[in-house]
A and B are shown apart, each in its own frame.
Chain A
């Protein structure tokens, strides 16, 4: 079936640098996208979302970019901090409550 996937399974970033996490999706009917952060021993934590009628959305230190033409989603984290170390998942849905998740990218922040 169709699925959402991440380009890289791991990302190592120097503290203070910006991080970019990528995600490709294949379901052209996807209308809503979410980025989640999962720390060890915890459930996924909502970071930011974006609807398909937008191409950019900003939150606190995070920006999500959506390119529907190439079915690509990215999460940018500004000034990465040690607390940003976690697994990041993109998820998509076609206007329902059935989220399809990518495989996840493990971000490690180097001091």
Chain B
């Protein structure tokens, strides 16, 4: 079974621009979560989508948004980029089948550099 895929793998943007990152979950997984990883703050939860609805949200400004499509693929968008948005953005998928197991499987991440 193919793992979580993320595109693009690397991205360089300028302050003030906006960016869209894409994530394809493991086949059959219906939940997609996004995390930001930086050396200073570590791994921080952004949001989680299930059945095209945002179910959980972290403490990030409204510049960070996301959506999920009917095929469970997800995108996240960051508008008005700031230098501090430079990070590895990780997507994770989960079956979310009501079993009470919350394991998440991560993709390789998108490395975003804001200059």
Interface residues of A (CB under 8 A from B): 1, 32, 34, 36, 41-46, 49, 51, 89, 91, 93, 95-104
Contacts and interface: CB of A to CB of B under 8 A. Distances in A.
Contact of B107 (A1, A43, A101, A102): A43
A97 B96 contact: yes
Interface in B93-109: 94, 96, 100-109
Given A96-B56, A97-B55, A101-B42, A43 B102 contact: no
Identify whether the interface residues of B are mostly helix, strand, loop, or mixed: strand
Contacts of B48: 97-98
Given A43-B90, A43-B107, A98-B48, A49 B33 contact: no
Given A41-B108, A43-B4, A98-B56, A93 B43 contact: no
Interface in B45-81: 45, 48, 50, 55-56, 58-59
B103 A89 contact: no
Contacts of B102: 32, 34, 93, 95-97, 99
